[in-house]
Amino acid sequence: MKLHNLTLITFSGAHATGKTTLLGDLAEELSKRPDTAVFQTESCSSKLFERIRSGTVHLPAGAQIPKTYDEINALGLRGFFQEALPNALAFEIEAALLRARADHSPKGRTFLLVDRWFADIFAYTLIESSDATLHERVLGRCRERLSDLFPYLLGHTRLLRVMNVFVPLKASNFRVEASDKFRATCDRALWEQLCRDRWTDVVGDTRALFVVTRSNRKARVTQLLSCLESPSPDTTSVT
């Protein structure tokens, strides 16, 4: 039996804006509600790296298996990794949806929370590589997986609502910890600009995009709950 009511909520933003914290805070709050189930995806980049290391994802001929995440760049695998991420993200969403159907009564309300979205993948591709051909390939893969993903979701629920949450730098007061990892030290303002400027190119439109305006953790959750409780033209019904 299909789920009765599914809400997909994605979280985007530059490093150290508090988006993952917000995801966790919202999940905790939603879990307190009766007849409500909350599911989260695992990090698509971490899971993809695990599958590469285990040998379940085949690398290009002659490529060396990276032992650490940082070796992806050192071994010249960044382009391969970025091209594989759209599939990895879609896989984690689909896997979480199957868990929801197996573990939750279809009569209740189900929330599926996703850390990162396809626009994030493309923004990181733009900032990490100057290869225009790679940019186009990753953009194409993001669009393809999105076009496949929504029919898949609609095949598992009677009612689908999508909400894309963006956490901007100007609404963040989180401390940036010192790190030598590239994604933790890249220009956050440039990343944010690339993600926002190219959002429509990747996702198709911004109707479901909700931009957080508060920096306080409780106030952020209140903002999202208020939006979730309001009628939305982005709700899609199927029979």
Q: What pLDDT, on a 0 to 100 scale, did the predictor assign at position 237?
A: 42
Q: Is the pLDDT of residue 109 over 60?
A: yes
Cα–Cα distance, 136 to 140 (Å, whole number): 6
Q: Render pLDDT for 176-198 as a digit per residue (tens, 0 to 9).
A: 665 455 455 689 999 999 999 99
Higher pLDDT, 203 or 105: 203
Q: What is the pLDDT of residue 1?
A: 78
**Nearest Cα to Cα of residue 219 among 177, 173, 175, 188:** 173
Is residue 239 very low, low, confident or very high in pLDDT (cuts 50, 70, 90)? Answer: very low
Q: Which of 8-17, 67-76, 142-151 shows the lowest mean pLDDT across its residues?
A: 67-76
Instruction: Copy the structure tokens of residue 97.
Output: 């949806």
Q: Rounded to whole angstroms, how far apart are CA atoms 56 and 52? A: 6
Give yes or no for residue 143 having a pLDDT over 70. Answer: yes
